[in-house]
């Protein structure tokens, strides 16, 4: 049988008609993200070679050290999307406020806003461990032709029209969904083309990996402590295997392929957890749902949460449906 190597470019063109409001705008947007990801990938790959490692000497709005590559990735994604006049607004983990973008002819007549974590897991760069980019796309809710407002960004995750991530790992992959399943494309760095390597990605029926920073155990809520004990019990298909990279994109990507659950709970130190609803949890939750999994804050679906602020944090439990159901049960019974 002849194997057809379908490139991401071909895939986008062939599947354009399944987009709800097909005008080619969403296709062009995904294309821009694909391009920016290639540039960031190039920079991430040579991180060990050039003087780009270490902190940039600045902190972002959440008081965290920004790594040089955080700043670089943020700039590349914003510049690519701005120069191509492809969106009407951008919100980024690395920006204090959202950015309003004028479309062609100085009008804000583009339909989509993008929210992103330009470099996820950035503390892993110095030690040559995988990092990623996460993106989330919504249709604006305010009238076309006017500047975007905060309302365009504070939409619940179940209104996303597309979401995805790039993992800069042993190979670089882009994994995304426009609401018709999840597809993964692997970059051939020699020619700069992504090929469809993981069509129609689904969580395996059963998962056996749990991913959580157990160093924070004493600060976890009782429900999560009890769930971790459950994962470690010798029963049926347990104990599960523990795997934690400390890079959400990489941890989620492995669990999607092998079957598992990712947990970043609220702690006594961080009552809302650490991860950001708009830049990290919603897009990953959208992919998880499209792949047959689910996400919760312990009580309700992540995708149902109505955001109240741009940099909002939420406790995050995400992965195989049956595992998330179980963790939720422990939370609710604690």
- For residue 2 the two structure tokens come to 């002849």
Q: Which stretch binds ligand AHG (CB under 6 A): 116-124, 138-146, 189-197, 289-297?
A: 116-124
Q: Which of 43, 41, 44, 70 is nearest to 57 (CA)?
A: 70
Angle 195-199-204 (CA atoms, 0-180°, nearest 5)?
A: 135
Bridge-based pairing of strands 99-100 and 89-92 is antiparallel
Nearest residue (CB) to ligand AHG, 143 versus 215: 215
Q: Which stretch binds Mn ion (CB under 5 A): 21-29, 49-57, 90-98, 305-313?
A: 90-98
Distance CA 101, CA 107 (A): 9
Q: Which of 111, 140, 274, 313 binds ligand AHG (CB under 6 A)?
A: 274
Among 120, 137, 210, 277, binds ligand AHG (CB under 6 A): 120
Query: Sign of the CA dihedral 276, 320, 5, 168?
Result: positive
Q: Which partner, Mn ion, ligand AHG, none, binds residue 213 by CB below 5 to 8 Å per kind? A: ligand AHG
Q: Which stretch binds Mn ion (CB under 5 A): 13-21, 86-94, 190-198, 252-260?
A: 86-94
DSSP state of 320: S
Which residues on neighbouring strands pair with residue 183, listed in sequence order? Answer: 176
15 binds ligand AHG (CB under 6 A): no
State how far the Cα of 242 lies from the Cα of 290, in Å rounded to an integer: 25
Tell me the DSSP string of 31-62. HHHHHHHHHHHHHHHTTTTTTT-SEEEEE-TT
Residue in 117, 152, 251, 328 binding Mn ion, rule: CB under 5 A: 117
- The correct pick among 82, 193, 213, 322 for binding ligand AHG (CB under 6 A) is 213
Contact of residue 111 among ligand AHG, Mn ion, none (CB under 5-8 Å per partner type): none
The residues binding ligand AHG (CB under 6 A) are 93, 117, 120-122, 213, 246-248, 274
The residues binding Mn ion (CB under 5 A) are 93, 117, 119-120
């Amino acid at each position: 049988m002849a194997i057809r190597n379908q490139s991401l470019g071909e895939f986008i063109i062939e599947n354009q008609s399944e987009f709800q409001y097909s005008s080619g705008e969403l296709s062009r947007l995904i294309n821009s993200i694909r391009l920016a990801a290639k540039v960031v990938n190039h920079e991430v790959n040579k991180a060990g070679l050039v003087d780009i490692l270490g902190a940039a000497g600045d902190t972002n709005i959440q008081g965290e050290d920004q790594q040089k590559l955080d700043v670089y990735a943020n700039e590349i994604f914003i510049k690519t999307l701005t120069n191509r006049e492809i969106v009407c607004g951008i919100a980024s983990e690395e920006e204090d406020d959202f950015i309003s973008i004028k479309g062609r002819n100085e009008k804000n007549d583009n339909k989509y806003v993008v929210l992103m974590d330009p470099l996820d897991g950035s503390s892993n760069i110095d030690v040559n461990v995988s990092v990623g980019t996460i993106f989330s796309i919504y249709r604006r809710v305010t009238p076309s032709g006017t500047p975007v407002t905060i309302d365009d960004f504070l939409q619940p995750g179940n209104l996303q029209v597309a979401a995805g991530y790039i993992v800069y790992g042993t190979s670089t992959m882009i994994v995304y969904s426009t609401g018709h399943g999840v597809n993964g494309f692997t970059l051939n760095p020699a020619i700069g083309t992504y090929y469809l390597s993981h069509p129609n990605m689904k969580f395996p029926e059963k998962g056996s990996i749990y991913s959580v920073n157990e160093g924070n155990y004493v600060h976890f809520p009782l429900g999560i402590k009890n769930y971790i004990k459950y994962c470690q019990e010798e029963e049926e298909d347990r104990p599960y295997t523990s795997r934690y990279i400390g890079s959400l994109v990489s941890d989620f990507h492995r669990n999607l392929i092998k079957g598992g659950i990712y947990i970043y709970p609220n702690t006594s130190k961080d009552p809302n957890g650490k991860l950001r609803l708009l830049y990290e949890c919603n897009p990953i939750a959208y992919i998880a749902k499209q792949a047959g999994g689910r996400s919760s804050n312990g009580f309700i679906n992540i995708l149902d949460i109505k955001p109240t602020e741009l940099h909002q944090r939420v406790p995050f439990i995400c992965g195989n449906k049956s595992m998330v159901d179980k963790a939720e049960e422990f939370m609710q019974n604690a």
